[in-house]
Amino acid sequence: MNSKKWNTVATGILYFIAGVMILILAFLLIFILWNGLPHVSWHFLTTPARSFQTGGGIGIQLFNSFYLLFLAMLISIPISIGAGIYLSEYAKQNWLTSLIRTSIDILSSLPSIVVGLFGFLVFSIQAGLGFSILSGALALTVFNLPLLTRNVEESLNSISESQREAGLALGLSKWETVLRIIIPEALPGIVTGMILGAGRVFGEAAALIYTAGQSAPALDFTNWNPFYIASPLNPLRPAETLAVHIWKINSEGIMPDAAQVSAGASAVLIIAVLIFNFGARFISARVYGKMTGTK
Amino acid sequence: MQNYSADDKFIRELDPKDHEISISTEDLHVFYGDSEAIHGVSLPFERFKITALIGASGSGKSTYLRSLNRMNDNIDGTRVTGKIMYRDLDINSQNINVYEMRKHIGMVFQRPNPFSKSIYDNITFAPKRNGVHGKETLDELVETTLKQAALWDQVKDGLGQSALSLSGGQQQRLCIARAIAMKPDILLLDEPASALDPISTSTVEDTLLALKDRYTIIIVTHNMQQAARISDYTAFFHLGNVLEFDETSNVFQRPKITATEDYVSGRFG
Amino acid sequence: MHDDIKDSLLKKSRATRSEQRGRIISLTCTAIIVLIVVSIFYFVASKGLATFFSNKVNVWDFLSKSIWNPGSTDSHGSPQAGALPMIIGSFGVTLLSAIIATPFAIATAIFMTEISPNKGYKILQPVTELLVGIPSVVYGFIGLSVVVPFVRHTFGGTGFGILAGTFVLFVMILPTVTSMSVDALRAVPRYYREASLALGATRWQTIYKVVLRSATPGLATAVIFGMSRAFGEALAVQMVIGNAVLLPHNLISPASTLTSVLTMGMGNTVMGSAANNALWSLALLLLLMSLVFNLLINKIAKRGRI
């Protein structure tokens, strides 16, 4: 076969494989949404789960997922911004900085089950938090920090050095310059990274099964006192999330309609991820427009 | 490029009795890592005069200018030795509050670098951080500085619009306005017109001439006509040394050093 | 004459204090992350090494024996902690899924960068991005409801096993490897391609002989990164692998991986017992492997730069 023919054949194969790639995504999405969406109803989204009988919902798990996400982001956002600033603005090129970068690299590549087990050992057992929202949020923070930090660092690095010089030349400290000039300009990138991070956290399960736990006790949605045991806000109660729930009902086999509930829950999870994905693009575009537009 | 001897130089002395010196350097060396970019430069800068720093690219004029308000501090591996005398203090020493110092020695850069904020906020941002408050005070500050920078008439109706919507020349004059809003003693300008078209360049030059009775101005420029047009003194930099420093008319019409003559007559550069 | 400005140059100001505060805050945040990493290593290692120091399991036995019953002891009186089945399971699914995913990912990446850099890229880029975002339990659930029955009908057996795990991991790492491969191919300078095409090479020859060759380090990094994800994935694999701690006879007999045993076992053992320590040894092995993957990626990246 001559080279011309090879060229045609190879191109054909590449088209085929790219097509397969699209088919895989289409299949995944259609499978989940086709099987899941019929089960998603207001009732499904708001009622508690049931064992040994059909008709349970995912109300508590859904709430838990959002609450955990909120707490995890609350802890990890400030830390990652601080560390991102350090790496992009203060870190000198020396062994200490390369040590810091290496540890962040290692942390980001750790399997999430290892993070979960570490959280189990340190937060649940040693710190006495037990299976609780708080241990879960801390484990998710560990899981989330390296990527957020790197995103903050990269977003800050993308802002021109001349902006920093402008601030410094006016007698501002480096810190003021970063906080008041560089961060606002880097905000679209930072926010996009945060939302994508939130999407990752929302779907994470392995880091949570031994920290936030695998049970979802009934909640009293009329009592929002965080110290009350059945309060939705109580940070010390165990809290199975949506992702953990999908895993749990599939590996336990005590829920008769596990397949339907999993499909519904997966659909909700996928839709949430889609919303995070599109939200990231949308918000970053908006923030950007606001900043460069008129006051 | 020819190699001119660094021993063959002419530095005009300014007698403190007749000339009030705003800032001066004594034997200033700048090192980037192991390489020496400035080889011991001593220069005086007279108050309310414009001093131009000229020389080919790589001659060290920008590096020298940036050491005057210690902007080089922020570059890893840079070391500056020697004295920078300002108000009887060596500001090149550890115990100097650089943030305070930079308020009095302002700087305008080669590329216009306004903040991506409104025109109004660009000017009031730093003063506000330094305790200037009250709408009237700030409004007045914005008006006077924009007038001094010859930008007021063009932007007075759109102070809220983004500074990034201005043209390059307007942005650069905004940066000058932003720098003088801090009421500095000295204004350092690093090739402020090199990124601008000829018309914007001439407005910026006019602005500088108008500012000279209030500020001591030190300007790095690549453009010899510009130096000849606006400056009172000129220092000629060559490979990290100042080979000639004199009144501008002397430097351009009666240079005492061959290297200077070759440079200002366009034989290299 | 008194000079206020001169005085102010010698005094601390608001800016000095803010700078100090900023340094402390940002350094503290960084130190927290480093501390977390150090303590992960410390805790996992101290627990994981207990098997060898307190429970006197021979390291070589741990790595090479295939009987996993750490709750009971063998004839020498040390726990039966032979991790070989899980090690084989983990490496098996990792290598197999990487072998299948690599050609797919690289081919898709070539399509996106070389064949159809405008239209194809615009369609496939969000596709890969979306696939990366799908949570792993969803992959596990699909594996359970589609892949396992498919394997059962086609190849017999229960359907659970290394083959099902491989399929799930293949789909899981495919988008990651693809998007990293795209980055690697895009980093090849345009003039390489132009030079090759100008010499009369066909597009395929250019891709094969010029682009792929100069992007090799980047592509290798992408594949190893995918492998490290596959190796560490817990729940999706656990759901389809069958969870039998036995040496797998074939690709369709129930098996287990380091992560699946950890996932199942940690809740059923008592902290500090030999059975529990043995699980931590698996976690330590997992941690070390992720270090090895990391090291490999750095090595390749460094060599690629020179």
> Hey, which CATH number is domain B19-264, 3.40.930.10, 3.40.50.1950, 3.40.50.300, 3.40.309.10?
3.40.50.300
* Chain C contact set for A23 (CB, 8 A): none
Pairwise CA distance, residues C44 & A106, whole Å: 14
Binary contact (B101, C9; C-beta < 8 A): yes
Selected for mutation to probe chain A from B71, B102, B111, B129 (highest A CB count within 10 Å) is B129
What pLDDT does A294 receive? 37
Model confidence over C243-296: pLDDT tens digits?
Answer: 888 888 888 888 999 999 999 888 888 888 888 999 999 999 999 999 999 999
CB contact under 8 A, A266 and C141: yes
Identify the pLDDT of residue A290.
Answer: 56
Say how many C-beta atoms besides its own lie within 10 A of residue B203's C-beta.
18
Chains A, B: CB contacts within 8 A come to 77
Neighbours of C143 (CB within 10 A): 27
pLDDT value of position A137: 96
Contact yes or no for C129 and A277 at CB 8 A? yes
Q: Given 1.10.3720.10, 3.40.50.300, 3.30.360.10, 1.10.510.10, which CATH number is that of A41-292? A: 1.10.3720.10
Residues of chain A with pLDDT under 70: 1, 52, 253-254, 284, 287-295
pLDDT tens, position by position, C136-167: 999 999 999 999 999 999 988 888 999 999 99
Q: How far C81 CA sits from the closest chain B CA (Å)?
A: 53
pLDDT tens for each residue of C25-83:
999 999 999 999 999 999 999 999 998 888 888 888 888 888 888 878 777 777 888 88
Burial category of A107 from C-beta neighbours within 10 Å (exposed 0-12, middle 13-18, buried 19 and up): buried
Burial of A73 (0-12, 13-18, 19+ CB in 10 A): buried
Q: Do B162 and A292 touch (CB under 8 A)?
A: yes
Scanning C16-45 for CB atoms below 8 A from B yields 16, 19
Q: Which residue of A has its CA nearest to C283?
A: A114
The SS3 assignment for A206 reads coil
Residues of A in contact with B126 (CB under 8 A): 167, 170-172
Measured CA distances, C258 to A31, A114, A130, C73, C88 (Å): 30, 11, 25, 21, 9
pLDDT at residue number B135: 92
- All structural domains of chain C, each given as residue ranges with its CATH number in brackets, are 15-81 (no CATH), 84-305 (1.10.3720.10)
Domain boundaries, chain B: 19-264
Q: Does A94 touch chain B (CB under 8 A)?
A: no
- pLDDT, position A151: 95
- Of B62, C6, C5, B178, the C-alpha closest to A167 is B178
CA distance A224 to A220: 8
Please tell me which residue of chain C has the smallest CA distance to A262.
C141
- Cβ neighbours of C104 in A, within 8 Å: 17, 20-21
User: Roughly what angle, to the nearest 10 degrees, separates helices C162-186 and C212-232?
Assistant: 140
Does B115 contact A163 at a Cβ distance shorter than 8 Å? yes
Crossing angle of helices A183-203 and A242-252, in 10° steps, is 20
**pLDDT at residue A249 in the model:** 87
Residue of A2, A24, A79, A113 to mutate for C, most C C-beta atoms under 10 A: A113
List chain A residues with CB under 8 Å of B160: 294-295
Nearest to C204 among A6, A35, A250 (CB): A6
Each domain of chain A, given as residue ranges in start order, spans 1-39, 41-292
Statement: residue C10 has pLDDT above 90: no
Nearest Cα residue in chain C from A145 = C33
pLDDT at C271: 84
- Reported confidence tier of residue C124, pLDDT bands at 50, 70, 90: confident
A148-179: per-residue pLDDT in tens?
Answer: 999 999 999 999 999 999 999 999 999 999 99
Q: Specify the amino acid at residue B81.
A: T
DSSP string, B241-254: EEEEEEEHHHHHHS
pLDDT 10s digits, B60-101: 999 999 999 999 888 888 999 999 999 989 999 888 999 999
Low-confidence stretches of chain B (pLDDT beneath 70):
1-3, 269
Mean pLDDT of all residues belonging to chain C: 89
A52-83 pLDDT tens trace: 677 777 888 999 999 999 999 999 999 999 99
In angstroms, the CA A67 to CA A79 distance is 19
8 Å CB contact of B99 and A171 = yes
Which residue among A21, A103, A113 places its CB closest to the CB of C127? A21
The minimum CA-CA distance between A249 and chain C, rounded to whole Å, is: 10
Contact assignment for A103 to C23 by CB distance below 8 Å: no
By the 8 A CB rule, do B113 and A164 touch?
no
